[in-house]
Amino acid sequence: MREVPARPTTDTATRPPGTGPSLTALVNAARSGDADAQAALFSEYLPLIYNIVGRGLHGHADVDDVVQETMLRAMRALPELRAPERFRSWIVAIAIRQMHDHRRRNKAALARHTHVADAAEVPDPVGDFAELAVDRQTLSRAGSDLLEASQWLSDEQRRTLALWWQETAGQLTRAEVAEALHLSVPHTAVRIQRMKAKLEVAVGVLAAWRARPRCAELDSLAGGRRGVPEGRLLTRLERHVAQCPQCGAAVACRSIDDLPIRIGALAVPAALVAAIPRLVGQHAVTPGLVSSLLNTLHHGLARVSAKSATVAVGTTATLAVVIGVTVHQLPPHAHGTDPAQGPEPTAGAPHQPGRALSGTTPSATPTTASRSYAGVTTADYYVAPTGDDTNPGTLARPFATMTRAVAKARPGQTVAVRGGTYHPARTITLTSSGTAGHRITVSNYRDEKPVFDGSGIPATAGTFIAQSGGHVTVQGIEIVNSPGNAYVCTSCHDDVLARLGVHGNARTGLVLHGAGTHDNLILDSDFYDNHETGSTGGYVDGLVLNDGSGSGNRVRGCRIYDNSGDGMDLSGFGDAVTVEHSWAFGNGVNRWGIATFSGGGSGFKLGGDAGLQVAHVASNSAAWDNAGFGFTETGGSGTPRLTNDTAYHNGAAGFAFVSSAAILRRNLALANHPDDWLGGQARHTGNSWDQPGWTAAALHTADADSATAPRRRDGQLPTMSFLGNSKDPSVGAVLTS
- For 358-397, the DSSP string reads SSSPPPSSPP------SSBS--SEEE-TT--TTS---SSS
- Within this chain, do residues 397 and 263 fall inside the same structural domain, yes or no? no
* Strand intervals (E) in 427-537: 428-430, 440-444, 450-453, 463-470, 472-475, 478-480, 485-493, 496-498, 501-503, 510-514, 521-523, 526-528
* pTM of this structure: 0.55
pLDDT value of position 145: 57
Q: 28 with 135, same domain?
A: yes
CB 613 within 8 A of CB 637: yes
Mean pLDDT of 293-305: 38
Give yes or no: residues 321 and 407 share one domain.
no
Amino acid at 644: N
Last-in-domain residue among 507, 541, 568: 507
| Residues contacting 99, CB < 8 A, separation 6+ | 52, 53, 56, 57, 66, 159, 162
Instruction: Output the furthest CA–CA distance in the chain (Å, rounded).
Output: 84
**Phi and psi based region of residue 562 (left: phi greater than 0; alpha: psi -120 to 50; beta: remaining):** left
The distance from CA 536 to its chain's CA centroid, rounded to whole angstroms, is 39
Q: Quick one: average pLDDT of 191-199?
A: 81
pLDDT per residue over 333-390, tens digit each? 333 433 333 333 333 333 332 222 222 222 223 233 335 788 999 999 999 999 999 9
pLDDT score at 68: 85
Domain boundary among 469, 490, 507: 507
Task: Let me know whether 295 and 387 are in one domain.
Answer: no
Q: pLDDT higher for 346 or 176?
A: 176
Q: Is residue 72 part of a domain?
A: yes
Over residues 195-208, the mean pLDDT reads 77
**In a domain? residue 253:** yes
- The answer to whether residues 316 and 397 belong to one domain is no
Question: What percent of the chain stands above pLDDT 70?
Answer: 71
Is residue 486 helix, strand or coil? strand
- Same-domain status, 286 and 414: no
Q: Examine the pLDDT at 305 and tell me if it is beyond 80.
A: no
| Ramachandran bin of 644, using left for φ above 0, alpha for ψ from -120 to 50, beta for the remaining angles | left
- pLDDT range class, residue 228, cuts 50, 70, 90: very low
- Could you tell me which of 516, 584, 522 has the C-alpha nearest to residue 548? 516
Average pLDDT over residues 419-432: 97
Inside any domain, residue 168: yes
User: Beta-carbon neighbour count of residue 282 at 10 Å?
Assistant: 17
Please tell me whether residues 323 and 405 are part of one structural domain.
no
Is the domain of 74 the same as that of 168? yes
Q: What does the pLDDT read at residue 249?
A: 67
More confident residue, 202 or 633: 633
pLDDT tens digits along 239-270? 787 778 777 666 644 455 544 344 455 677 77
Q: What angle do CA 168, 202, 137 make, to 5 degrees?
A: 75
pLDDT, the chain, mean: 76
Nearest-angstrom CA–CA distance, 176 and 16: 11
CA dihedral 148, 152, 154, 157 (to 10 degrees): -50
Residue 714 lies in a domain: no
Q: Provide the pLDDT confidence category of residue 180 given band limits of 50, 70 and 90.
A: confident
In sequence order, the 6+-apart residues with CB closer than 8 A to the CB of 143 are 261, 262, 263, 322
- Count of the separate structural domains present in the chain: 2
- Are 31 and 132 in a shared domain? yes
Q: How far apart are CA 443 and CA 449, in angstroms?
A: 10
Decide which of 302, 331, 360 is a domain's last residue. 331
- What gap in Å lies between CA 27 and CA 41, rounded to an integer? 7
pLDDT for the residue numbered 100: 77
**Does 320 share its domain with 402?**
no
Higher pLDDT, 648 or 83: 648
Evaluate if residue 500 carries a pLDDT over 50: yes
pLDDT of the residue at 250: 63
Query: Do the Cβ atoms of 487 and 502 come closer than 8 Å?
Result: yes
Residue 579 lies in a domain: no
Model confidence at 3, pLDDT cuts 50, 70, 90, reads: very low
Backbone CA torsion sign across 118, 121, 123, 128: negative
Confidence of residue 141 (pLDDT cuts 50, 70, 90): very low
Instruction: Name the residue with higher pLDDT: 140 or 496.
Output: 496
Confidence of residue 325 (pLDDT cuts 50, 70, 90): very low
- For residue 187, the model assigns a pLDDT of 84
Which residues touch 395 (CB under 8 Å, ≥6 apart)? Answer: 379, 382, 416
pLDDT at site 370: 37
Confidence of residue 551 (pLDDT cuts 50, 70, 90): very high
For residue 485, pLDDT beyond 90: yes
Contacts of 561 (CB under 8 A, 6+ apart): 526, 527, 528, 542, 567, 583, 584, 585, 586, 587, 707, 708
Say if 589 falls within a structural domain: no
With bands split at pLDDT 50, 70 and 90, how would you rate the model's confidence at 608? low
Shared domain for 298 and 424, answered yes or no, is no
Residue 614 lies in a domain: no
The pLDDT-based confidence of 168 (bands split at 50, 70, 90) is low
**Mind listing the pLDDT tens digit for each residue in 34-73?**
888 888 888 888 888 888 887 777 667 788 888 888 888 8
Return d(Cα 236, Cα 679) in angstroms, integer.
51
* DSSP code for 564: S
Domain that holds residue 272: 23-331
Buried b / exposed e over 420-445, threshold 16 CB at 10 Å, is eebebeebbbbebbbbbbbbbbbbbb
Q: Which tens digit of pLDDT belongs to each residue from 79-122?
A: 878 788 888 888 888 888 888 777 777 644 333 333 322 222 22
Helix 155-168 vs helix 35-56: angle between axes, to the nearest 10 degrees?
A: 120
Give the type of residue at 360: T
CA 85 to chain centre: 22
Q: Which of 415, 517, 422, 426 is nearest to 465 (CA)?
A: 426
At 607, phi and psi to the nearest 5? 140, -160
pLDDT at 49: 87
Q: How many CB atoms lie within 10 A of CB 16?
A: 18
DSSP3 helix / strand / coil % (the chain, rounded to 5)? 30, 20, 50
Q: According to the model, what pLDDT value does residue 124 have?
A: 28
Please check whether residues 420 and 311 belong to one and the same domain: no
The residue with greater pLDDT, 191 or 337, is: 191
Strand partners, 430: 467
Which residues on neighbouring strands pair with residue 501, listed in sequence order?
A: 478, 526
More confident site: 80 or 298: 80
> Does residue 660 belong to any structural domain of this protein?
no
